[in-house]
Chain A
Amino acid sequence: GQNIDQPTEMTATEGAIVQINCTYQTSGFNGLFWYQQHAGEAPTFLSYNVLDGLEEKGRFSSFLSRSKGYSYLLLKELQMKDSASYLCAVRDQWANAGKSTFGDGTTLTVKP
């Protein structure tokens, strides 16, 4: 089975840095994804990790440790528009159609 845990809510200040953690226990692993979802909208892809280490993409970075079943999403220079839900998702093996299991999401509120 698949189990993904992430904090329910976080609050941060504009211009600051915030780290959103995700831990997972899955029977199959073929990559970990982070998605951003604004209220009332569909999720959009943010980042992808399949090997251990840090992937940086502008203001967003994502880290993965497969041995620990742990990932985090780091958001720098927070802007008000970063207020959204951030979903951690683990993709299953390609033999299982690459389906992904999602955590319940972390709602980030950025305050001025």
Chain B
Amino acid sequence: SQTIHQWPATLVQPVGSPLSLECTVEGTSNPNLYWYRQAAGRGLQLLFYSVGIGQISSEVPQNLSASRPQDRQFILSSKKLLLSDSGFYLCAWSDPLDRGIGYGYTFGSGTRLTVV
């Protein structure tokens, strides 16, 4: 079965510090991968998505970047965090062959980032 791992679960970082969040998927090949951010009491905002190694699409211009160095690894980074980067970060994967079956996303457990 497929599993998705995301770490760390919580993170408190000072303004101006770097960030690296990692997500890995097991049990599937060539997944579509996504990074979302959720502000308190709000829905999910798509940050980046990837359909393959080295292929990154950015949805929102911001202080973050993403990379996919391996098929099942997705990394979210920042060189210098801002206070506004605080939030709940979620990695998700979907099966690119799911065309109509409708399994949707499977999410990682999330990282709660607080920038202080």
Contacts and interface: CB of A to CB of B under 8 A. Distances in A.
Contact of B106 (A45, A100, A104): A45
Interface in A18-44: 31, 33, 35, 40-44
Interface residues of A, number: 26
A50 B107 CA distance: 21
B42 A98 contact: no
B22 to A, nearest CB: 16
A102 B32 contact: no
A101 B90 CA distance: 14
Nearest to B42: A104
A58 B51 CA distance: 34
A33 B46 CA distance: 16
Contact of B51 (A41, A44, A97, A101): A97
Interface string B89-102: 01000101011101
28 contacts: A31-B102, A33-B105, A35-B104, A41-B109, A41-B110, A42-B90, A42-B109, A43-B90, A43-B105, A44-B107, A45-B103, A45-B105, A45-B106, A49-B102, A50-B100, A87-B44, A89-B44, A91-B104, A94-B99, A98-B96, A99-B32, A99-B46, A100-B104, A100-B105, A102-B45, A103-B43, A105-B42, A105-B43
